[in-house]
Amino acid sequence: MLDLKRLRATPDRPQKIDESYESVTEASFSLQGKVRVQGEAVHHRQKISVGLQIEATVVQACSRCLNSVLSALRLDELLEFRPASAVEDPLTSEVYIYNLEEAMLDLKPYVMGLISNSLTVKPLCRPDCKGLCPKCGQDLNTKLCGCVRESQGDPRFKVLEKLL
Ligand SMILES: [Zn+2]
Ligand SMILES: [Zn+2]
């Protein structure tokens, strides 16, 4: 949480950020254990600059075999917040908007957005993951099944069909 009221009352004086979230689950990934967020925020002529260091352990499903893929994440990010009146074109601007009437700003949604943007779209548990058998669903990394492998089509779509 950013104390906007205090930030605006003390311009140019950095405010420490040190917060953590417990095991978060989002739509396409989850975060194991604690998410650590540290940094500094400073208010200068209506602009609030927020520097963040984010540390988390990301859990994604392997895009081939659906097993969990764990990766340690460390991000250094700089966010800029301005009131809507100080942003010329909110649609194309990289700047975030803050509400002048709000006293507090919850950083968590922004942190989750940054983490989400940094993730691999198709994670793999290992570079040569063999995936699942499109017929019986056997994890081919652990054991080969007796199914005849078809060469046509993308096996991943068949796995999806099975899941639906
Ligand atoms: Zn895999
Ligand atoms: Zn099989």
State in Å: Cα 164 to ligand 1 middle.
Answer: 20
> What does the alpha-carbon distance between residue 98 and residue 104 come to, in Å, rounded to a whole number?
10
What pLDDT is attached to residue 28? 84
Give the distance (Å) from ligand 1 centre to CA of residue 45: 50
Cα 155 to ligand 2 centroid, rounded to whole Å: 11
Distance 1 CA to ligand 1 centre (A): 37
CA 95 to ligand 2 center in whole angstroms: 50
Mean pLDDT of the chain: 88
Sign of CA dihedral 134, 138, 144, 145: negative
Q: How many CA atoms lie within 13 A of 43 on its CB side?
A: 16
Q: In whole angstroms, what is the distance from residue 48 CA to residue 65 CA?
A: 43
CB distance 17 to 3 below 8 Å: no
Q: What's the 134 CA to ligand 1 centre distance in angstroms?
A: 14
Q: How far is the CA of 14 from the centre of ligand 2 (A)?
A: 59
- Model pTM? 0.79
Residues 105-163: tens digit of each pLDDT: 999 999 999 999 999 889 999 999 999 999 999 999 999 998 876 555 566 666 666 66
pLDDT surpassing 90 at residue 90: no
Burial 117-150 (b: 16+ CB within 10 A, else e): eeeeeebbbeeebebbbbbeebbbbeeeeeeeee
Distance of CA 27 from the midpoint of ligand 2 (Å): 29
